């Protein structure tokens, strides 16, 4: 995998703002669990398909999504 | 391994207490990531206001001074004049800035104070339960305009960027939105430019962010982003109202 995409599941508020921007429709709610806030947290079912565009992380108002580039390539800076 | 996206270092490691999907969180994240990029974390003083944006000092990992309602520009004036090398910004809602704090913001711009204002316009008083603000749109229902805002009774929405751009001391004024990844990237660039304008000593700068309040609008967070596009942007056109370039005075 070129990218690690990590969700801080316990802090997800289930707002949906991360979902519609992924052109591969990779993000969905994990209906099999509830977090401490009582919501089905956002998750990525097929992380191997992620191209690291960052749209989901950029739109998350609570900064619960972290995207790491796994290869040693520091050409791209952190966008936030 | 390198982090492409994540929680900026200029944010504290505490969860935001904003309502689900509120774009106050998104906006604070942008401000913090610009501070990180400029490597100004140890040299920033934020000036808090009253309103939901007033939680900013708890969430940001920078020095802070808190203000009475609407008075952040007055505090920022003192802070910046005594600390001209620091990056100083106020973070204010539309109730705070465009209603109770109108005099302070106009005269800070008028004096050409060298700080930046991040102005979060969500067309309502969020914290107190969704009352009408000067920025509320015509026809918008709020707890104090239950039949919708009537221009005959309450006037037209107040356009802060247009107003301030007539003032000589205001050097960079831009209105942006946070309704999509493209807009969010533009908003971040605008914040960066305003901070650069400040650090170059040019004068006052303000970025208005068209933002949401899903709770008091009675909409889902995604419907709220749609409302920015369909209702807010037509009433509050995006763009640069006062431009500044590196080298300008
Ligand atoms: C002097 C004073 N008057 C009134 C209030 C009550 N009050 C608290 S927050 C607020 C409105 C905030 O609205 P806005 O600035 O739009 O911020 P938002 O909560 O929408 O982010 C008001 C009127 C107060 N705290 N102090
Ligand atoms: S980074 Fe881009 S491609 Fe990867 S999951 Fe998020 S939106 Fe989809
Ligand atoms: S009341 Fe509105 S502005 Fe305040 S945190 Fe909730 S959604 Fe955001």
Q: For residue B33, how many C-alpha atoms fall within 13 Å in the half-sphere facing its CB?
A: 25
CB-nearest partner of A80 from B5, B21, B181: B5
Beta carbons within 8 Å of B245's beta carbon, 6+ residues apart = none
Chain B residue with CA closest to A20: the answer is: B222
Which token pair is B194? 């305003």
Residue among A16, A20, A42, A56 to mutate when testing ligand 2 (max atoms within 8 A of CB):
A56
How far is the C-alpha of B109 from the C-alpha of B115, rounded, in Å? Answer: 9
- Residue A5 is predicted with a pLDDT of 95
Q: Which residues of B touch A41 (CB under 8 A)?
A: none
Q: Is B243 in CB contact (< 8 Å) with chain A? A: no
How far is the C-alpha of B228 from the C-alpha of B231, rounded, in Å? Answer: 6
Using alpha carbons only, what angle is made at residue B79 by residues B75 and B73, rounded to the nearest 5 degrees?
A: 30
How far is the C-alpha of A52 from the C-alpha of A30, rounded, in Å? Answer: 21
Residue among A6, A19, A50, A64 to mutate when testing ligand 2 (max atoms within 8 A of CB):
A50
Q: Is A52 in CB contact (< 8 Å) with chain B? A: yes
Ligand 3 centroid, distance to B19 Cα (angstroms): 5
Q: Is B53 in CB contact (< 8 Å) with chain A? A: no
Structural domain spans, chain B: 26-242
Average per-residue pLDDT for chain A: 91
Beta carbons within 8 Å of B144's beta carbon, 6+ residues apart = B131, B132
Please give the ipTM for the structure prediction: 0.94
Please say if the pLDDT value at position A73 is more than 90: no
- Residue A50 is predicted with a pLDDT of 95
Structural domain spans, chain A: 3-69
User: For residue range B5-51, what is the model confidence (pLDDT) as tens digits?
Assistant: 999 999 999 999 999 999 999 999 999 999 999 999 999 999 999 99
How far is the C-alpha of A62 from the C-alpha of B187, rounded, in Å? Answer: 17
Please say if the pLDDT value at position B225 is more than 80: yes
A66-80, B84-98, B161-175, B197-211: segment of lowest average pLDDT? A66-80
User: For residue range A27-56, what is the model confidence (pLDDT) as tens digits?
Assistant: 999 999 999 999 999 999 999 999 999 999
* Residue nearest atom 2 in ligand 3 by C-alpha distance: B213
* A76 — pLDDT class (breaks 50, 70, 90): low
User: Quick one: DSSP state of residue B158?
Assistant: P
The fold adopted by the segment(s) A3-69 is Alpha-Beta Plaits (3.30.70)
The fold adopted by the segment(s) B26-242 is Rossmann fold (3.40.50)
Which residue, among B189, B9, B194, B14, has the nearest Cα to B88 in the 3D structure? B194
């Amino acid at each position: 995998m070129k990218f690690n995409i990590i969700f801080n599941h316990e802090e997800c508020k289930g707002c949906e703002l991360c979902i519609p921007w992924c052109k591969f429709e990779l993000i969905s709610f994990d209906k099999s669990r509830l977090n401490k806030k009582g919501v089905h947290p956002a998750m990525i079912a097929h992380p191997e398909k992620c191209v690291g565009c960052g749209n989901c992380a950029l739109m998350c108002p609570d900064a619960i999504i972290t995207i790491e580039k796994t290869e040693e390539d520091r050409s791209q800076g952190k966008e936030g | 391994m390198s982090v492409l996206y994540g929680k900026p270092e200029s944010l504290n490691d505490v969860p935001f207490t904003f309502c689900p999907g509120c774009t106050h969180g998104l906006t604070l994240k942008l401000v913090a990531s610009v501070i990180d990029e400029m490597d100004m974390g140890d040299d920033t003083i934020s000036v808090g206001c009253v309103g939901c944006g007033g939680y900013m000092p708890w969430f940001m990992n920078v020095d802070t001074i808190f203000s009475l309602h609407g008075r952040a520009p007055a505090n920022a004036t003192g802070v910046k004049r005594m600390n001209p090398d620091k990056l100083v910004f106020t973070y204010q809602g539309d109730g705070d800035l465009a209603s109770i704090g109108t005099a302070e913001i106009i005269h800070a711009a008028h004096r050409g104070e060298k700080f930046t204002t991040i102005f979060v316009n969500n067309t309502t008083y969020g914290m107190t339960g969704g009352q009408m603000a000067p920025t509320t749109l015509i026809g918008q229902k709020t707890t104090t305009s239950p039949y919708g805002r009537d221009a005959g009774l309450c006037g037209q929405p107040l356009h802060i960027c247009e107003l301030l751009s007539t003032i000589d001391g205001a050097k960079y004024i831009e209105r942006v939105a946070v309704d999509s990844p493209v807009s969010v990237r533009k908003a971040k660039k605008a914040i960066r430019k305003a901070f650069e304008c400040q650090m170059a000593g040019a004068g006052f700068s303000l970025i208005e962010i068209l933002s949401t309040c899903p709770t008091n609008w009675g909409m889902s967070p995604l419907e709220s982003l749609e409302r920015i596009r369909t209702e807010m942007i037509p009433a509050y056109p995006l763009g640069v109202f006062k431009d500044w370039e590196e080298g300008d005075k």
